[in-house]
Chains A and B, each alone.
Chain A
């Protein structure tokens, strides 16, 4: 199994809602990532978890809250988002997290904030 599975594929939420994005992999990878991608732009790193610990937080607003319950799962909790947060949210994983490893991406969650 070489897949990274993201759910849901599409999400529409209001600015007062609370929702969560989920990401799962069963490749035994110990590094997992959240990226945000706006249309026609490259992905922007949000968070990195390494061995279930948050290792990088790229100054992301607190309305985004990551969680890594175990080595296979990664969540992104969303609360009080703004319309400018509408984007494609991509999860990725790699074996240990060093920069010379292959990255495996999920198919993304397309988020619209109304």
Chain B
């Protein structure tokens, strides 16, 4: 079993729909990261959170430490949101180093106009 599981693996939505991507993890973490990767490679860090909820524009990320679960929500989705969304958790190995991020396999989102 992977230490970081994302669902769904693929998601197709119509423009304007509310989207939820889920991430579950089985290790103790110091922080959870949501990353966005567009075709062509570059990765953008959307959120880094260790408790509660964060909001940036149409994006909302939540985390429940007790349940070891996080969700990324996109409201009023748009075709430009089409990308791969990756959940990654930082553990306390390597003395808390960023070097021990464990990545999920990603969720490929396609938003149709």
Cβ of A42 and Cβ of B104 under 8 Å apart?
A: yes
User: Pick the contact of B30 from A88, A99, A107 — CB < 8 Å?
Assistant: A99
A64 at the interface (CB under 8 A from B): no
From A92, A97, A101, A103, name the one whose CB has the most chain B CB atoms within 10 angstroms.
Answer: A103
Q: Is the interface of B mostly helix, strand, loop or mixed?
A: mixed
A87-104 interface (Cβ within 8 A of B):
88, 90, 92, 94, 97-104
- Chain B residues contacting A37 (CB-CB under 8 Å) are 41
Number of B residues near A (Cβ < 8 Å) is 29
Cβ of B42 and Cβ of A100 under 8 Å apart?
A: no
Q: Is the interface of A mostly helix, strand, loop or mixed?
A: strand
Min CB–CB distance B29 → chain A (angstroms): 8
Cβ of B42 and Cβ of A105 under 8 Å apart?
A: yes
A23 at the interface (CB under 8 A from B): no
Cβ of A99 and Cβ of B97 under 8 Å apart?
A: yes
Given contacts A42-B104, A103-B33, contact A98 B41 (CB under 8 A): no
Cβ of A98 and Cβ of B42 under 8 Å apart?
A: no
B55-113 interface (Cβ within 8 A of A):
86, 88, 90-92, 94, 96-101, 103-106
Cβ of B43 and Cβ of A97 under 8 Å apart?
A: no
- Chain B residues contacting A90 (CB-CB under 8 Å) are 41, 43
- Chain B residues contacting A103 (CB-CB under 8 Å) are 33, 35, 45, 48, 98, 101
